[in-house]
Amino acid sequence: MYTLGPEFVDVTWGAGGAQSELTLQICTTAQSVAGLETCMHLTCTNMPREKIDWALKNAKQAGIQNILALRGDPPHGHSDWKAIDTGFAYAIDLVKYIREQYGDYFCIGVAGYPEGHIENSDRQSDFDHFVEKCKLADYVVTQLFYDCDLYLEWVKRVRAAGVQIPILPGIMPIQMYGGFKRMTTLSKTSVPKEVDAALEPIKDDDKAVKEYGVKLAIEMCNKLRAAGQKGFHFYCMNLEKSVRLILEGLEFVAPVEVAKPLPWNPSLAQNRKNETVRPIFWRNRTRSYVLRTEAWDDFPNGRWGDSRSPAYGDFDGYGVSLKFTPEEATKIWGTPSKIGDIHELFSQFCKGNLAGLPWCDKMAPESEGIQNPLSDVNLKGFLTINSQPAVDGAPSNDARYGWGPKNGFVYQKAYIEFFVSPAALDKLIKKLSVDPFITYYAVNKEGDMKTNVQSDTPNAVTWGVFPGQEIVQPTVVDGTSFMAWKDEAFELWMQWARVYPASSPSTKLIQGISDSWFLMNVVHNNYRDAGAIWEIFD
Amino acid sequence: MYTLGPEFVDVTWGAGGAQSELTLQICTTAQSVAGLETCMHLTCTNMPREKIDWALKNAKQAGIQNILALRGDPPHGHSDWKAIDTGFAYAIDLVKYIREQYGDYFCIGVAGYPEGHIENSDRQSDFDHFVEKCKLADYVVTQLFYDCDLYLEWVKRVRAAGVQIPILPGIMPIQMYGGFKRMTTLSKTSVPKEVDAALEPIKDDDKAVKEYGVKLAIEMCNKLRAAGQKGFHFYCMNLEKSVRLILEGLEFVAPVEVAKPLPWNPSLAQNRKNETVRPIFWRNRTRSYVLRTEAWDDFPNGRWGDSRSPAYGDFDGYGVSLKFTPEEATKIWGTPSKIGDIHELFSQFCKGNLAGLPWCDKMAPESEGIQNPLSDVNLKGFLTINSQPAVDGAPSNDARYGWGPKNGFVYQKAYIEFFVSPAALDKLIKKLSVDPFITYYAVNKEGDMKTNVQSDTPNAVTWGVFPGQEIVQPTVVDGTSFMAWKDEAFELWMQWARVYPASSPSTKLIQGISDSWFLMNVVHNNYRDAGAIWEIFD
């Protein structure tokens, strides 16, 4: 979703213990790991005041600042909604309570029903309640609808009643004919005749229904847009593909400066809002990085600020695990028995022929231009897990390398990180020692460090120059971080080794690499010579 | 001296009240304004303990960390040296006292006499005292000499006696025949026959004597260098021209990274050692800048660090005055009576035809390449006082633009600062408003500010990219600093106005500019298009 550049994402409230925990976890991950502005739903259903308190406290702690306050559906297995003791009967009560407890801290959204609430047959009292609710809220998201005229009429009435807050129409792309029918019937949603007519002949063709759903949503959005609508809320229902196609169809492509304010996704956790620097090592393991730096003080007063003291949290328990089951892993990586097999696997990964490696799911898009030389390096026995090409001032809106505000220029020093055998390392270091542009760190599992870097200050490997700003340098290489990272990097070999039966040839081979090889990073500091980094492997 | 790149400079001790103050002032200016590592001489002559305490305390406070501890000459008008009550009799007593009071804080130098101390005819006891003294000291500077063999012999003896600290030979270029004769006779310095022979025929030709002095010093240094000598101490006696010629003859040219660690001369005051950023406005008035920021906390925790609070000290009393007397000023600038005269003066200054303007002594060397367009801009009525051309990644050892460590690249955004009439300002702002690469501030004497900059963070206008480092961004433009600077800038018009009789046409003209014009700075943020800045004046 991040790459689609939404203004915010929202996560439905999972009532009940484990479900509520899950909602909070998803929200926290979206907000602080993926850096998506997140809105958490909160419902009155089966929620005594204590649970509401608990949910709001945790949401605030996680940096969530947006709540969609809803009454909610009746509990599972019930057809009528009933308030519980010490709970709330209407969404407006919940909104009032949040405002009482948290003042303006939360941005509170409420639901709007362009066709009226199905449980209230008195349309006027229904509408009046809604207007009352809006007086306390910050924005409205509507129930799904398919009749744009009804929506636009309703918005007019709402505005005429003095409601000024933003209203987002709820667009639900049709995914399956059966589901669509069931839902519109249940919620008594008007379906324009032409929609029914278009669906009837294709109702048994799931693919065609989906395609029509996309087409219809595009038409609806264009119609609403023409009528002055500024924002849209899509009900993805975890089926984000249709939404992606709709956004493409609408040409709602987020400009580079919105989609990529920095070369990595900034966390939106409250304490990280000034975080502008990260080490390059965790580029493929953002979650682990964010969690291991969670305890740091305000950024940039953590590492790379004035105080360089904060230590990385322990990496155990932060998901140092393969993203594949042993079965999947064996299918992807086979049963390597000699070092050449490993070279080949890494090389194939660089060419895009492998579903992943323990250190990375897929090649970063910006590595596309260097697939071939990278693949060759791996065949030579330097097992790469992270790299970036040199960039000498690409425009900040460049499709591949761009990030940050408009009218700027972005730069990168060529970077490559790989595992290397002790013998090959010695040869390489001898070779690198004559090049004043090379800086490197190499370390084995035990922590024996070899480096030609004398200072303990970081090396900026990505930076951007923008009108009216200081230079932004969001990615660095530094020795202390590298030491923290190497524990994770070597542990991933061990995870791979455990895929195979103990004492099998594959386990021995992989464990041998983990025990004796070095993890090395090399920066070529002459970013104006894009090809220079490859010469070190000649 | 700064441009010659000395390891350190030293300043003789002026015994007595005003003289001592002067020594401290010179040392402080050299250390914290010019950024030269400074060694302060301290003598025992007429210095009771209280005065020594006062001198050391003030030296430390000024950031001086080097003391040359000497007994000193007899007081003026006396031929014998006599210790005073509560004073010290020998340099070694002074060294001991400094160590007792300050431990290792000061780096302490002592004098060495390759030909023996003239007041001690017992050569052996003289030598033994010297060796004792060296045990407490950090380095030796020798008395002047002209016989290199004597010096080299003496160094051998000193080393044989176990002295390991660095020894710097004292080289005094011959400046005038009379002075040379008087001094060598007084101090019983051996003069090799060939030196006497060379001087005899030219002794009445001051210029020839000076040239021979330079030639001789070069020969001596080369001889000592060949014998393993690593450093040299030149007695400049405020006649630095000979020393400059000697250094050129020896090809002792400081490499760019030593001579220019940053594009401005970093202060060496203790509390400023981490200062890496300054606003561009004071580029031609370093002294005023350093003094007005003296009260700031540790850099970069002052402005541009995390705390942006420190205010500039009041500019009054920091030498906001012309560097010329009214007579000199009238000679240089004449008596302008119409605005065109002022345009012409500024234009001539840009061409290098004027000794100075109130805001600047001379054109910065890097402005040489832009003299002509700059001169034209002034003729159009934009009276420039500060500017830098755009630089798109010059090597860090570039003779004109280079600064900082080796193997780096330096950048600049084009910058121009000028006074402009209100009418011309309005036209210019209208023109600039369509260019997304332009940022500007304009302010009049009263503080009415016009700007297109929305954020209050600084704009980096000079930066460098170096191997293994973060990006260094030593020069910035920011609104708050600009407001502090404008008071100085406008006051300099008033100083100029006062050169002429009150109510004379020149005074009225200049005062009129000061009262109604704006001071404006413009940054062209596209540093890759070197000529773009000039288009704004078309």
DSSP readout, B460-529?
A: EEEEEE-TTSPPEEEEEE-HHHHHHHHHHHHHHHHHHHTTSPTTSHHHHHHHHHHHH-EEEEEEES-TT-
Domain assignment present for A174: yes
Distance from CA of A405 to the nearest CA of B (A): 12
pLDDT (0 to 100) of residue A360: 86
Residues B89-111: pLDDT tens digits?
A: 889 999 999 999 999 999 999 99
- Whether the CB-CB separation of A386 and A281 falls below 8 Å is answered with yes
In chain A, residues with a C-beta closer than 8 Å to the C-beta of B392 are 393
pLDDT (0 to 100) of residue B425: 97
Question: If we measure between CA atoms, which residue out of A380, A388, A336 comes closest to residue A357?
Answer: A336
Distance CA B432, CA A533 (A): 42
Domain assignment present for A264: no
Per-residue pLDDT band for B319 (boundaries 50, 70, 90) equals: low
Of residues B436, B465, B470, nearest to A476 (C-beta): B470
Question: Are A437 and B409 an interchain contact pair (Cβ–Cβ within 8 Å)?
Answer: no
Interface test with A, best of B301, B465, B477 (most A CBs within 10 A): B465
- Whether the CB-CB separation of B514 and B494 falls below 8 Å is answered with yes
Please check whether residues A32 and A177 belong to one and the same domain: yes
Residue B113 token pair? 């006499």
A428 vs B28, more confident: A428
Task: Tell me what percent of the residues of chain B surpass a pLDDT of 90.
Answer: 65
Domain span at A157: 2-259
Residue B39 token pair? 């060694």
Helix (H) or strand (E) holding A109: strand A107-112
Domain assignment present for B269: no
Please check whether residues B317 and B434 belong to one and the same domain: yes
Of residues A458, A459, A528, nearest to B409 (C-beta): A528
Please check whether residues B134 and B236 belong to one and the same domain: yes
- Whether the CB-CB separation of B407 and A526 falls below 8 Å is answered with yes
Please check whether residues A231 and A292 belong to one and the same domain: no
Distance CA A527, CA A533 (A): 9
Cα four-point dihedral sign B359, B361, B367, B371: positive
Looking at this predicted complex, what is its ipTM?
A: 0.77
Of residues A457, A459, A468, nearest to B439 (C-beta): A468
Distance CA A338, CA A510 (A): 9
Distance CA B266, CA B300 (A): 13
In chain A, residues with a C-beta closer than 8 Å to the C-beta of B467 are 436-437, 439, 459, 523, 525
Q: How far is CA A349 from CA A131, A354, A496, A517, in A?
A: 57, 5, 16, 20
Please check whether residues A395 and A278 belong to one and the same domain: yes
Q: Is the pTM value of this prediction over 0.90? A: no
Q: Where are the alpha helices (DSSP H) in A388-478?
A: 422-432
Quote the mean pLDDT of chain B.
90
In chain B, residues with a C-beta closer than 8 Å to the C-beta of A411 are 465
In chain A, residues with a C-beta closer than 8 Å to the C-beta of B476 are 470
Please check whether residues A237 and A327 belong to one and the same domain: no
Please check whether residues A308 and A251 belong to one and the same domain: no
Distance from CA of B457 to the nearest CA of A (A): 7
Please check whether residues A283 and A182 belong to one and the same domain: no
pLDDT (0 to 100) of residue B301: 58
| Closest residue on chain B to A415 (Cα) | B468
Residue B337 token pair? 């009576």
User: pLDDT (tens digit, 0 to 9) for every residue of chain A, 538 residues total?
Assistant: 877 889 999 999 987 667 888 899 899 889 888 889 999 999 988 788 888 999 999 999 888 999 999 988 776 677 777 777 777 888 999 999 999 999 999 999 999 999 987 666 678 888 999 999 999 999 999 999 999 999 999 999 999 999 999 999 999 999 999 999 998 988 889 999 999 999 999 999 989 999 999 999 999 999 999 999 999 999 988 888 899 999 999 998 777 877 788 888 888 887 787 888 898 988 888 888 888 887 777 776 556 655 455 677 776 655 678 888 999 999 999 999 999 999 999 999 999 899 899 998 777 766 777 889 999 999 999 999 999 999 999 999 998 999 999 999 999 999 999 999 999 999 999 999 999 999 999 999 999 999 999 887 889 999 999 999 999 999 999 898 899 899 999 999 999 999 999 999 999 999 999 999 999 999 999 999 999 999 999 8
Q: What is the DSSP letter of A390?
A: -
Query: What total of structural domains would you count in chain B?
Result: 2
Please check whether residues B11 and B158 belong to one and the same domain: yes
Helix (H) or strand (E) holding B391: strand B391-395
For the cut 70, the answer to whether the pLDDT of residue B318 exceeds it is: no
Helix (H) or strand (E) holding A440: strand A438-444
Domain assignment present for A267: no
Domain assignment present for B270: no
Distance CA B329, CA B316 (A): 21
- Chain B positions contacting chain A at CB under 8 Å are 301, 305-306, 392-393, 406-407, 409, 411, 436-437, 439, 453, 455, 457-460, 463, 465-471, 473, 476, 523, 525-528
**Dihedral angle over CA of B64, B69, B75, B79, nearest 10:** -150
Of A259, A282, A302, the last residue of a domain is A259
Question: If we measure between CA atoms, which residue out of A93, A91, A67, A77 comes closest to residue A12?
Answer: A67
- Whether the CB-CB separation of A392 and A530 falls below 8 Å is answered with yes
Of B259, B288, B317, the last residue of a domain is B259
- Whether the CB-CB separation of A166 and A128 falls below 8 Å is answered with no
For the cut 80, the answer to whether the pLDDT of residue B20 exceeds it is: yes
Distance CA A410, CA A350 (A): 25
Of A227, A259, A291, the last residue of a domain is A259
Domain assignment present for B272: no
Q: Which residues contact A336 (CB under 8 A, 6 or more apart)?
A: A342, A345, A506, A509, A510
Domain assignment present for B268: no
Q: Is A353 helix (H, G, I), strand (E, B) or coil?
A: coil
Q: Where are the alpha helices (DSSP H) in A273-407?
A: 286-292, 326-333, 339-350, 371-379
Q: How far is CA B176 from CA A142, B181, B182, B205, in A?
A: 96, 9, 10, 9
Question: Are A465 and B305 an interchain contact pair (Cβ–Cβ within 8 Å)?
Answer: no
Per-residue pLDDT band for B119 (boundaries 50, 70, 90) equals: low
Helix (H) or strand (E) holding B152: helix B148-160
Q: Where are the alpha helices (DSSP H) in A139-285?
A: 148-160, 177-186, 193-199, 206-226, 240-249, 256-259
Distance from CA of A265 to the nearest CA of B (A): 21
Q: Is A141 exposed, middle or buried (0-12, 13-18, 19+ CB in 10 A)?
A: buried
pLDDT (0 to 100) of residue B307: 45
What order do you get walking across the sheet with B38-43 strand by strand?
A: B9-11, B38-43, B66-70, B107-112, B139-144, B167-171, B233-234
**Dihedral angle over CA of A319, A325, A328, A333, nearest 10:** 60
A387 residue type, one letter: S
Distance CA B327, CA A63 (A): 68
Domain of B144, CATH number, reads 3.20.20.220
Question: Are A459 and B468 an interchain contact pair (Cβ–Cβ within 8 Å)?
Answer: yes
Please check whether residues A236 and A286 belong to one and the same domain: no
pLDDT (0 to 100) of residue A307: 44
Domain assignment present for A268: no
What order do you get walking across the sheet with B518-524 strand by strand?
A: B383-388, B414-420, B518-524, B438-444, B449-451
Please check whether residues A403 and A277 belong to one and the same domain: yes
Please check whether residues A18 and A45 belong to one and the same domain: yes
Distance CA A403, CA A309 (A): 29
Residue B154 token pair? 């003496």
Residue recorded with tokens 């090396």? A459
